[in-house]
A and B are shown apart, each in its own frame.
Chain A
Amino acid sequence: MQAVNVRLIQITLLAVILGGWQLGVTTGVIDRFFFPAPLDIVQQVVTWVIDPGFYKHVGITLSETVLGYLIGTGLGVAAGVWLGLSPFTARILDPFIKAINAIPRVVLAPIFVLWLGLGLWSKVALAVTLVFFVTFFNAMQGVREVNPVVLSNTRILGARRSDLLRHVYFPAAASWILSSLRTSVGFAVVGAIIGEYLGASAGLGYLIARAEGNFDAVGVFAGIIILAVFVLIIDLLLDVAEKRLITWRPKAGEERPA
């Protein structure tokens, strides 16, 4: 009952906002150059969605996101596990890592374009620099917080170093990485979009940048809505992935109170 009421209020609120906006634009109170009519935006979205050529852009942004995520995570896990296991190296590299992590990634975009061209890879590189650090810190934390008793037990059972990596350290790191899955995929999307926005010939970010270049506010707003939906769909997929991947952990509501 409560839930239905909440939904009802939410829908009414949305209708009031959008209706008011549409009304404002038609009566001329709101300048449609800056705030185009919701109906025009919807029309633009529909035009794109039924155009097969549009999916090329979606496909490109998606590839950049996925590649950026996979490469960034791979490198982050490798580096995180390595430094987690060698505190000495970690101490030496610490200031460098902090310095690099402090660089706002946006300023790297032109450099990547210079190195890797306007194509896919400069965007992937940008996404990687964002994803890497999230995964890196989580993997390092995961390795450092492995229960020492569990570790001793596994060694006594006969584990060599490679066995420890495979059965103890990587799974320990993985659980932390999975818990940051959402953040890092979010970063991968941001990296891809910003890269496209700053210089590309395809992709959702490019669509928005192009509309902006033409002072086409309808296109910009439509692009933003498409992006939001894109991220929401990825989020839904992650929900499913998370449930499948961490089977060994108590699910929410199923964990022991003690």
Chain B
Amino acid sequence: MSIAAAKIEAVPQPGLPPMVTIDDVTMAFGSFVAVENVNLTVGNGEFLSIVGPTGCGKSTILNAIAGLLKPAKGQVSIDGAQVKSVQNNIGYLFQQDALLPWKTAFQNVELGLMFRGVPVEERRVKVMAWLEKVGLKGFEGRFPHQLSGGQRKRVQMAQALITEPKVILMDEPFSALDIHTRHLMQNELLRLWQEDRRAVVMITHDLEEAIALGDRVVVLAAGPRSRVIESFGVDLERPRNVSEIKLDPKFMTLYRDIWASLRGEVEKSYASR
């Protein structure tokens, strides 16, 4: 098939002003082009899910938004300002463990506020509130090695969200968790997000999760030279309950449509090995 397929303009739901704009971005590692000519806009308050075969460049796109990697071509902007260096008005929930091992849960969650010069007392109150929100009351004094995988993820979540970032980036945030904890945290995330809508970009391998949480699901092509191939709006009511919504017929239709689009890419990514 030729690349005659129309350039996909992945635009946000109507009515939302753009928060993150990815404009004709190409990301390369040396001569290896991971993603090419990606256009993507995330509206303010929009929850965007990105799915795509493994190694297609999802993390790379997220790193470009965070300013950790520079595009070879094109530009990324957040709230109208071009991203030139590491951003600190965003929250990034990394796929890997990213807590400082020598700080307790409390001290880890406190970091963002401390770097912003928030006074000690105010910090304490906020940190305690956030630890409670993520269900870790009483675990303030634990070091990361004394927490379970799921607890560490929740500390990371509190750490990323406490600074009230404009944009929240999440790289397979729940993939390491068991199914029950995952549902719990997905609902928790939805509740937190509902309270105070921010722009969210979430990468996932789990198509159900992408639909259940997102306002829109974007499918990336198999790499290299990956690009956005399709964008699906998710018109399911909010607030949603992650485990119930899967039984909704609209959910199932969407799942079938998106999977039809994704499956070809996944197969391609295996065929090209």
Q: Which of B97, B98, B112, B143 contacts A152 (CB 8 A)?
A: B98
Q: Which residue of A lies closest to B115 (CB)?
A: A158
Number of interface residues of B (CB under 8 A): 28
State the Cβ distance, A153 to closest chain B Cβ, in Å.
4
B47 CB within 8 Å of chain A: no
B94 CB within 8 Å of chain A: yes
Do residues A171 and B145 form an inter-chain contact, with CB atoms below 8 A? no
When distances are taken between beta carbons in the complex, the residues of chain A under 8 Å from B159 are: 153, 157
Do residues B115 and A153 form an inter-chain contact, with CB atoms below 8 A? no
When distances are taken between beta carbons in the complex, the residues of chain A under 8 Å from B205 are: none
A155 CB within 8 Å of chain B: yes
Q: Which residue of B lies closest to A157 (CB)?
A: B112
Among B68, B97, B115, the one with the most A-chain Cβ atoms within 10 Å of its Cβ is: B115
When distances are taken between beta carbons in the complex, the residues of chain B under 8 Å from A52 are: none
Q: Which of B68, B102, B104, B111 contacts A157 (CB 8 A)?
A: B111
Docked Cα-Cα span, A152 to B98, in Å, equals 8
B256 CB within 8 Å of chain A: no
Docked Cα-Cα span, A160 to B102, in Å, equals 19
B99 CB within 8 Å of chain A: yes
Given contacts A149-B96, A156-B88, A156-B92, contact A248 B115 (CB under 8 A): no
B177 CB within 8 Å of chain A: no
When distances are taken between beta carbons in the complex, the residues of chain A under 8 Å from B116 are: 158
Q: Which of A150, A155, A248, A250 contacts B88 (CB 8 A)?
A: A155
Given contacts A149-B94, A247-B143, contact A168 B115 (CB under 8 A): no
Among A155, A249, A250, A255, the one with the most B-chain Cβ atoms within 10 Å of its Cβ is: A155
Q: Which residue of B lies closest to A167 (CB)?
A: B100
Docked Cα-Cα span, A152 to B102, in Å, equals 16
Q: Which residue of B lies closest to A152 (CB)?
A: B68
State the Cβ distance, B78 to closest chain A Cβ, in Å.
12
A163 CB within 8 Å of chain B: yes
State the Cβ distance, A132 to closest chain B Cβ, in Å.
24
Docked Cα-Cα span, A91 to B63, in Å, equals 29
Do residues A154 and B90 form an inter-chain contact, with CB atoms below 8 A? no
Interface residues on A, range: 20 to 34
A175 CB within 8 Å of chain B: yes
B252 CB within 8 Å of chain A: no
Docked Cα-Cα span, A153 to B160, in Å, equals 9
A231 CB within 8 Å of chain B: no
Docked Cα-Cα span, A167 to B112, in Å, equals 12
B192 CB within 8 Å of chain A: no
Do residues A248 and B143 form an inter-chain contact, with CB atoms below 8 A? yes
Q: Which residue of B lies closest to A160 (CB)?
A: B115
Given contacts A152-B68, A155-B88, A158-B116, contact A248 B102 (CB under 8 A): yes
Do residues A163 and B100 form an inter-chain contact, with CB atoms below 8 A? no
Docked Cα-Cα span, A150 to B91, in Å, equals 14
Do residues B103 and A150 form an inter-chain contact, with CB atoms below 8 A? no
Docked Cα-Cα span, A217 to B101, in Å, equals 53
Do residues B97 and A149 form an inter-chain contact, with CB atoms below 8 A? yes
Do residues A167 and B88 form an inter-chain contact, with CB atoms below 8 A? no
B163 CB within 8 Å of chain A: yes
Docked Cα-Cα span, A255 to B90, in Å, equals 33
When distances are taken between beta carbons in the complex, the residues of chain B under 8 Å from A158 are: 88, 111-112, 115-116, 163
Q: Which residues of B contact A (CB under 8 A)?
A: 66, 68, 86-88, 90-92, 94, 96-104, 111-112, 115-116, 143, 145-146, 159-160, 163
